Amino acid sequence: MTRLKLAATAALSSLALLTGCATPLAGKTPDEATRKVMLQNWQNASYNFDAQIGFDKLVFTDRDSKLAQPDIADTIDQVGRAVRVNVSGAVDAPNGRVEAIPELRFERRNLLASIKVPLQFHAQDMSLLVDPSAVDLFLPSLRKQSGKFIRAKLPAEMASQIPLKAMYQAMPKIIDDAYAQADKQAFSFQPLDAYAGEIGAHYKLRMELSRQQEQKLTLQMLDGLAKVAREQAKQPDDKSGAEAMIRLVQSLVKLDPVSGDKSRTVSDIYASRGGDLLALRQKVHVEAPEFSGDAYVNVRYSHYGKPQFVYQLSENDIVDFDKLDMPDWLKDTDKLLPGEHAEAPAAAAAAEPQAQAAQPQAKSKKKRKARRTQ
């Protein structure tokens, strides 16, 4: 009996161990595993990220262009390799807050130039906060607000037309539906490499898409968002609402010329045992009639569930854009916007031909009066 109990205990312990080792990605095909990681990343949108974007090669291939001349082409390639964009930040979707600190860098041997523009977006009041210290040399009035972020809010009427919460909640299904329609052959499991060991990844997935496939995925997601915006719209035919803006983006994506079959994006997706997205490393090859290039996008994710924000802003750290003392050349920019200011120039333009036509009549009347006097 004792042996039987020991055997049963051992069997239960083994079963518990095996159950504990089971992961959300276990037994899934490569495309299913990729969709699971992407969905989980969106649903658990609370993390830090660090991204690097740049070129490994940039070559102009149009022989009729001066840019293709050897010396100029080499200079362009060197400049392309020297420019890089770094973006660090934090996402806290449950509380509607996003921080991004983009940095544009130009770096060569003995030469370094960079500029940073810290940003925060607050979904509660649809406001964008910007640290303008990088450009306050050109706007002396900003130096009076040294160390403060400038806040610009979307007008309440416009903000009410953007169903941000509904679109966010709909995104998991939109993402899953779009990736479900992609070619299953585009996904694969890859052997773990040194980088996987460095970040503690247990899975490496690869997704290889042509430019046409990427464009199709993007259009499908935008179409899903547009439908949600239409369902939530108070006036479905409103051409200034969220749906209209999304449709505009769709049309711009469609206008983007789709390159040949040689343009491809290879994405390596590194995931934890629990299915969290730890890193995304992309190699993008672009081949167009005028140029070809190899770009890279590397993103590292961390602090899941506990994102760390660099800037903890209070009202004392913020000044609203409309309260700034702006220079004269910026004060007149509102006249460039459509509205009541636009009517005055139009009326003046319409009145100008009438004034010009009246001038000869006035001159002829003066001549007739002069003759009578004589």
Q: Is 90 exceeded by the pLDDT of residue 249?
A: no
Residue 349 is assigned to a structural domain of this protein = no
Q: Is 60 exceeded by the pLDDT of residue 361?
A: no
φ, ψ (nearest 5 deg) of residue 239: -80, 0
Residue 66 is assigned to a structural domain of this protein = yes
**Average pLDDT of the residues in 110-130:** 94
**Average pLDDT of the residues in 294-322:** 93
Q: How confident is the model over 251-298, as pLDDT tens digits?
A: 777 666 555 567 899 999 999 999 999 999 999 998 887 788 999 999
Residue 103 is assigned to a structural domain of this protein = yes
Position 355 scores a pLDDT of: 47
Residue 332 is assigned to a structural domain of this protein = no
Residue 340 is assigned to a structural domain of this protein = no
Position 340 scores a pLDDT of: 44
Q: How confident is the model over 44-81, as pLDDT tens digits?
A: 889 999 999 999 998 887 777 777 788 888 888 999 99
**Average pLDDT of the residues in 35-43:** 92
With beta carbons less than 8 A apart as the criterion, state whether 52 and 60 touch: no
Residue 230 is assigned to a structural domain of this protein = yes
With beta carbons less than 8 A apart as the criterion, state whether 134 and 119 touch: no
Position 335 scores a pLDDT of: 53
**Average pLDDT of the residues in 94-109:** 95
Length of the chain: 374
Residue 348 is assigned to a structural domain of this protein = no
**Treating both helix axes as pointing N-terminal to C-terminal, what angle do 164-180 and 211-232 enclose, rounded to 10 degrees?**
140
**Average pLDDT of the residues in 225-229:** 87
Position 371 scores a pLDDT of: 52
Helix (H) or strand (E) holding 52: strand 46-60
Helix (H) or strand (E) holding 142: helix 140-143
What is the model's pTM?
Answer: 0.77
Position 61 scores a pLDDT of: 76
Q: Kindly report the average pLDDT of the chain as a whole number.
A: 81
CA of residue 102 relative to chain centroid, distance: 11
Q: How many structural domains is the chain composed of? A: 1
Distances (CA, A) of 252 to 16, 182, 264, 272: 53, 22, 20, 36
In terms of residue numbers, what domain contains 108? Answer: 23-326
Residue 61 is assigned to a structural domain of this protein = yes
